[in-house]
Amino acid sequence: MIKTENLIKIYQTDDVETTALNEVNIEIKEGEFVSVMGPSGCGKSTLLNVLGMIDNPTSGHFYFNGSEVGSLPERKRSDVRKHNLGFVFQSFNLIDELTVYENVELPMLYTKVPSADRKKRVEELLEGMNIMHRAKHFPQQLSGGQQQRVAVARAIVNKPKLILADEPTGNLDSSNGDEVMKILSELNSTGTTILMVTHSQYCAEFGNRIIRMLDGQVVTENVVRQYL
Amino acid sequence: MLKNNIKIAWRHILKNKFISAINFTGLVVGMVAVLFIWQYVAYEKNYDKIHENTDDVYRVSTDRVKDGVAFMKFAAGAACAAPVIAKNFPEVENYVKLVKSGDAIYKRKDKNEVTYQPEKVYFVMPSLFDIFSFPLAKGNTATCLSEPFSAVITESVAKKMFGDEDPIGKTLNRNNDSDYKITAIIKDAPQNSHIKFDILLSYITYSDVFNSDNNNTETGPYWDGFLSYLKLKSQTDWKDLESRIPAVMERTYDKETSESVVFHLQPFNDIHLNSNLLFETEPPGDGNAVNFLFLIGSLVLIIAWFNYVNLSTARSELRAKEVGVRKVIGSDRSSLIRQFMVEAALMNIIAILTALLLAQVLAPWFVNLIDKDIPMSIFSNLGLLSVVLAVFLLGTLLTGLYPAFLLSSFKPIHVLKGSSNQSKKNRGNWMRKGLVVFQFIASVGLIASTIIIYTQLDFMKDKKIGLDIEQTLVIKRPIVTDSTFTAKAKTFRKQLEKLSVAKNVTNSTSVPGQPFGMTVGASKWGNDEENFGFHAMCADFNYADTYDIELVAGRKLSKEMGNDQNSCILNELAVDVFQIETPEEALGLEINFWGDKLKVVGVVKNFHHEAPKSIMEPMILRGFGERFSPDYFSVKLNTKEIGQTMASVESIWKSLFSQNPIDYFFLDDHYDQQYNSETLFGKIFSLFSGLAILVSCLGLFALIAFVAERKKKEIGIRKVLGASIPSIVTMLSKDFIKLIFIALLIAIPLCWYLMNNWLDGFAERIDIQWWYFALAGLIAISIAILTMSYQSVKAALLNPVESLKTE
């Protein structure tokens, strides 16, 4: 599903040049749950952003489902994104002015899903996440765990092939964190590919492969024990 | 999607109550200003639009020319103008002449007790109804003015004099001396029509009956007072036709006449705003003033729009996260632009609905302020609806586009990482600074202009006009008079003199603040070929004393000299016109005044018979001859006790002129009425300047609040490190003060240039002083500092623990 060849990302500010990704070569197959780990500043979030097509690589190749997408213009990337990818962020990034229901519904407005189908899908997801009773509330009226469940529901509402999760449990206590990880695992078990950046070994082990990074490079790739 | 956009827009408005309230207030104030100004401008620009097909109608104005220089320009000009032009140019399809009839009292012949004194009565040719489209209520316009002694009255006169009776066929008596049969009734002309009247009398009465012994009504080049309108064939090049008129005059008249009488054509639709000649039918409008007011009305709205753009871009960082999230989950740029446009549209639509409501409520107040009977109904006016639509669309585009493009250009990677793109941020900052500078250019400019306008108004009012018009009661002559009038006028004058409150009494044919009434072509006696144009009036021996006119040479008119019936006084300008070196040399000069031999006995200093906004003219002040009778009685009072005085004057009046109601005025008030249009301009200008400044300050207030909010943490840290409150206030406001100084530098030359142009329209004007701008700048900066200090002091006083904790 994803393949990168010599992926390089360099950030340039006035005098300083920072190499965030340095010749990264990875491959992720459909149905995999891959965790990316590494110390702060190692480039893992940059990798996630590049693979999530919200950032461009400086050089190298990035193939998504066999097509080169690394150099696509913003409009085309946006198109690929909205039909194939779902995002989960550490800080949830729900839109404060929209209710739970509307936040989950939003991606379907961009993919022009008919109204009746949207309603059915949102309700189905909110029921599944056990937050239907909060549908009319605004994000700031929810606990962190509830907010992240809404964010996950929003990420998967368009049934994406790949979910990119950036420290999805970072702002949650352990029980809420567990719950989110369970949801991600369940999604993976139904065929959704997941790429997750995390600091937590515990969370990383929910995946079936762990990529470790340091200074912008992939240092090791291990298959998680239970899959050995 | 639209529903979603509207919903989120509405929630944003509610969530940011402070910013929304500032935007809303500014927009509403701006829109109300534009709605009012637009109605006023539309009223002025739609003058005379009741007439269809006036594109080919022109008024003929008459210039009196000496040595190639026009020294008098008449709107109601020479009697021969239209007939001569029509006879010689086949391009003229039709023409109409109107002559104003003097003041008169009209009575119903069948009910003598029903009387009416109309303001405007004209003798008019029947072709009036072919050229103009005055709507008929009853009768036949083809025949109603073709017979002598026919009258057409307006609906309101019909109502006043005949109630529900049918006036057609009934007779009106004019001043006990002539009877007119009513042949038609027409609807009242709207206020914004420069030809307005109460009664029309058939022109043939004037030309063929009253002046039967003299065919000058059609051929006289020196007989003024005839309004002449030509209807040209369509596609006629009127300028070309105008340029060929002098050749026709040369063929028709002798050399002197053709050189001294010059006709011009004025497009009918330009008359109201662009013509200011002698004998206009009504005080003309001022095209420049109308454009000026339109500009400042619009400026208020533009400033409000800029507030919206400023506050939206200032808040862009707060919206950045939303933009980033939306982009990540699939929104493209165009749908984000649409979203921000919907927000702008929603704010604009709420504002305009409120503005419409407010404008409706405040309409009577505005009509009262501008003292014009403008129909201020929003729902009956299609033009206004299109303005509302234009304000809405333009407002939405202007307030929505820039923030929409700026916000939608944020890259999700930057905003999600919490570092919005620095270059975009800078761009937003520059734009914001630019708009603040613009707002203050407008504010400083408007304050300075207001100061200049009022200084000029005061200058004109306080100017020594060369006359003493204080404490002067002026009584107009009775309208209905008979052969005993001259004797009665003398008695009236004598009795006025006897009043203990009367310091001085004088009779005259004109008084200050009124037109002279006579224009005369006079020449040195025995040298009739050299004819000069003068304003003229008759007055008795006491005129110069009553009005305290300064004598330069010779003597005043004198009672001892038998009222000086054959003497006259010149002003200094008239001495120049006769090409005489000194006032003393003019004494003893004999002049030909309509065939009378008058001897110059004195020369007076030039004085402003009319307000100093118009130029002073050469003038002859002559004693009353046999053929003149007084039109005004002036009484200089030695008391301010008006009640008792008026009671005495009225009782004398009743004993002599019982048939006539007394009509009087106090001269200083009457004279000041000449400044009505300037005073009104000043009033409207200062009102809208005030609004513009208010809206600018609202924006500044919100901007500094925003800056203080964003710098809360910095303020906290600085305070912990020991910063004083004044230093924090300075830190917050210094950038804005800098911007205001930049605005000042741009505003001064701009305002100087524009106001200099405005002042050039006055015959006597003030010079622009540097301190007007210093004062304007000081006012603007003080208002701005006051506005900012509330927010910055509030921020500076905040407990640093609070501000650091919230971060």
Say what the pLDDT of residue B267 is: 95
Say what the pLDDT of residue B423 is: 57
* Interface contact A219, partner B, CB < 8 A: no
Say what the pLDDT of residue B93 is: 95
- Domains of chain B: total: 3
Please identify, among B246, B274, B302, the residue that sits at the C-terminal boundary of a domain: B274
Say what the pLDDT of residue B724 is: 80
Inspect the interface and report whether the beta carbons of A95 and B322 lie closer than 8 Å: yes
Share above pLDDT 90 across residues of chain B, in percent, rounded to a whole number: 36
Chain A residues with beta carbon closer than 8 angstroms to that of B338: none
Say what the pLDDT of residue B807 is: 38
- The CA-atom distances, in angstroms, between B259 and each of B84, B217, B223, B521 are 15, 20, 16, 14
Q: Are residues B484 and B394 in the same domain?
A: no
Nearest to A78 among B15, B321, B330 (CB): B330
| Closest CA–CA distance from residue B427 to any residue of chain A (Å) | 18
Chain B residues with beta carbon closer than 8 angstroms to that of A54: 327-328, 411-413, 416
Q: With 70 as the cut, is the pLDDT of residue B418 above it?
A: no
Does some domain include residue B105?
A: yes
- Please list the residues that pair with B186 across neighbouring strands: B136, B154
| Closest CA–CA distance from residue A69 to any residue of chain B (Å) | 16
Task: Give the residue on A whose Cα is nearest the Cα of B328.
Answer: A54
Ranges B28-42, B609-623, B700-714: which has the least confidence: B700-714
Task: Give the residue on A whose Cα is nearest the Cα of B333.
Answer: A75
Residue pairs between chains A and B whose CB atoms are closer than 8 Å: 65
Inspect the interface and report whether the beta carbons of A54 and B335 lie closer than 8 Å: no
Query: Quick one: average pLDDT of B229-255?
Result: 94
Chain B residues with beta carbon closer than 8 angstroms to that of A99: none
Boundaries of domain holding B76: 57-274
pLDDT digits (tens, 9 = 90+) for B727-739: 888 887 788 888 8
| Closest CA–CA distance from residue A219 to any residue of chain B (Å) | 25
Inspect the interface and report whether the beta carbons of B327 and A54 lie closer than 8 Å: yes
Q: Are residues B298 and B396 in the same domain?
A: yes
Q: With 70 as the cut, is the pLDDT of residue B195 above it?
A: yes
| Closest CA–CA distance from residue B12 to any residue of chain A (Å) | 7
Q: Which of B329, B343, B419 best probes binding to A when mutated, by most A CB atoms within 10 angstroms?
A: B329
Say what the pLDDT of residue B516 is: 83
Chain A residues with beta carbon closer than 8 angstroms to that of B1: 109
Chain A residues with beta carbon closer than 8 angstroms to that of B413: 49, 54-55
Higher pLDDT, B300 or A12: B300
CA neighbours closer than 13 Å in the CB half-sphere of residue B355: 27
Does some domain include residue B336?
A: no
Does some domain include residue B715?
A: yes
pLDDT digits (tens, 9 = 90+) for B753-802: 989 988 887 878 899 999 999 898 888 888 877 877 777 777 777 777 76
Inspect the interface and report whether the beta carbons of B416 and A94 lie closer than 8 Å: no
| E runs forming strands in B530-637 | 531-538, 551-554, 567-571, 590-593, 596-604, 619-622, 632-637
Inspect the interface and report whether the beta carbons of B332 and A75 lie closer than 8 Å: yes
Please identify, among B652, B674, B696, the residue that sits at the C-terminal boundary of a domain: B674
* Interface contact A55, partner B, CB < 8 A: yes
Report the sign of the C-alpha dihedral through residues B740, B745, B748, B751, in that order. Answer: negative
Q: With 70 as the cut, is the pLDDT of residue B417 above it?
A: no
Nearest to B321 among A86, A93, A109 (CB): A93
Inspect the interface and report whether the beta carbons of A97 and B322 lie closer than 8 Å: yes
Residues B565, B643: Cα–Cα separation, whole Å = 36
| Closest CA–CA distance from residue A165 to any residue of chain B (Å) | 13
Query: Quick one: average pLDDT of A113-140?
Result: 92
Q: With 60 as the cut, is the pLDDT of residue B424 above it?
A: no
Higher pLDDT, B215 or B532: B532
| Closest CA–CA distance from residue A54 to any residue of chain B (Å) | 6
Q: How many CB atoms lie within 10 A of CB A219?
A: 11
Residues B68, B259: Cα–Cα separation, whole Å = 8
Q: Are residues B183 and B138 in the same domain?
A: yes
Q: How confident is the model at residue A228 (pLDDT cuts 50, 70, 90)?
A: low
Q: With 50 as the cut, is the pLDDT of residue A169 above it?
A: yes
Helix (H, G, I), strand (E, B) or coil at B493: helix
Query: Quick one: average pLDDT of B69-88?
Result: 91
Ranges B616-630, B678-692, B702-716: which has the least confidence: B702-716
Q: Which of B7, B328, B335, B422 best probes binding to A when mutated, by most A CB atoms within 10 angstroms?
A: B328
Q: Which residue has the tokens 């007007």?
A: B772
Q: With 60 as the cut, is the pLDDT of residue B454 above it?
A: yes
Helix (H, G, I), strand (E, B) or coil at A2: strand
Q: With 90 as the cut, is the pLDDT of residue B256 above it?
A: no
Share above pLDDT 70 across residues of chain B, in percent, rounded to a whole number: 96
Does some domain include residue B359?
A: no
Helix (H, G, I), strand (E, B) or coil at B719: helix
Task: Give the residue on A whose Cα is nearest the Cα of B409.
Answer: A74
Q: Are residues B499 and B611 in the same domain?
A: yes
Residues A1, A28: Cα–Cα separation, whole Å = 6
Helix (H, G, I), strand (E, B) or coil at A163: strand
Q: How confident is the model at residue B806 (pLDDT cuts 50, 70, 90)?
A: very low
pTM: 0.78
Say what the pLDDT of residue B428 is: 66
Q: Are residues B477 and B449 in the same domain?
A: no
Say what the pLDDT of residue A198 is: 92
| Closest CA–CA distance from residue B340 to any residue of chain A (Å) | 14
Chain A residues with beta carbon closer than 8 angstroms to that of B330: 78, 81-83, 107, 110-111, 158
| Closest CA–CA distance from residue A120 to any residue of chain B (Å) | 17
Q: Are residues B515 and B412 in the same domain?
A: no
Please identify, among B621, B648, B674, the residue that sits at the C-terminal boundary of a domain: B674
Say what the pLDDT of residue B355 is: 93
Q: DSSP character for B765? A: -
Whether B247 and B42 have beta carbons less than 8 Å apart is answered as no
Q: Are residues B123 and B245 in the same domain?
A: yes
Q: Are residues B639 and B684 in the same domain?
A: no
Residues B630, B87: Cα–Cα separation, whole Å = 40
Q: Are residues B315 and B252 in the same domain?
A: no
Residues B197, B122: Cα–Cα separation, whole Å = 7
Inspect the interface and report whether the beta carbons of B325 and A78 lie closer than 8 Å: no
Query: Quick one: average pLDDT of A130-147?
Result: 92
Whether B467 and B607 have beta carbons less than 8 Å apart is answered as yes
Does some domain include residue B400?
A: yes
Chain B residues with beta carbon closer than 8 angstroms to that of A89: 416
| Closest CA–CA distance from residue B369 to any residue of chain A (Å) | 45
pLDDT digits (tens, 9 = 90+) for B551-583: 999 988 887 666 678 899 999 999 998 889 999
The DSSP secondary structure of A65-108, one letter per residue, reads: TTEE-TT--HHHHHHHHHHHEEEEETT----TTS-HHHHHHHHH
* Interface contact A81, partner B, CB < 8 A: yes
Q: B164 CB contacts (<8 Å, ≥6 apart)?
A: none
Helix (H, G, I), strand (E, B) or coil at B499: coil
Q: Are residues B625 and B638 in the same domain?
A: yes
Q: How confident is the model at residue B518 (pLDDT cuts 50, 70, 90)?
A: confident
Helix (H, G, I), strand (E, B) or coil at A145: helix
Query: Quick one: average pLDDT of B477-505?
Result: 88
| Closest CA–CA distance from residue B303 to any residue of chain A (Å) | 29
pLDDT digits (tens, 9 = 90+) for B426-444: 666 788 888 888 888 988 8
Mean pLDDT of the residues in chain B: 87
Query: Quick one: average pLDDT of A40-69?
Result: 89
Inspect the interface and report whether the beta carbons of B329 and A97 lie closer than 8 Å: no
Q: Are residues B244 and B313 in the same domain?
A: no
Does some domain include residue B49?
A: no
Q: How confident is the model at residue B354 (pLDDT cuts 50, 70, 90)?
A: very high
Higher pLDDT, B212 or A141: A141
Chain B residues with beta carbon closer than 8 angstroms to that of A97: 8, 11-12, 15, 322
Does some domain include residue B545?
A: yes
- Please list the residues that pair with A19 across neighbouring strands: A10
pLDDT digits (tens, 9 = 90+) for B581-593: 999 999 999 999 8
Say what the pLDDT of residue B175 is: 87
Q: Are residues B219 and B310 in the same domain?
A: no
Chain B residues with beta carbon closer than 8 angstroms to that of A98: 8, 11
Residues B277, B688: Cα–Cα separation, whole Å = 30
Say what the pLDDT of residue B483 is: 81
Query: Quick one: average pLDDT of A13-34?
Result: 89
Task: Give the residue on B whose Cα is nearest the Cα of A55.
Answer: B413
Query: Quick one: average pLDDT of B340-344?
Result: 91
Inspect the interface and report whether the beta carbons of B328 and A54 lie closer than 8 Å: yes
Inspect the interface and report whether the beta carbons of B15 and A107 lie closer than 8 Å: no
Does some domain include residue B355?
A: no
Nearest to B332 among A78, A96, A102 (CB): A78
Inspect the interface and report whether the beta carbons of A102 and B7 lie closer than 8 Å: yes
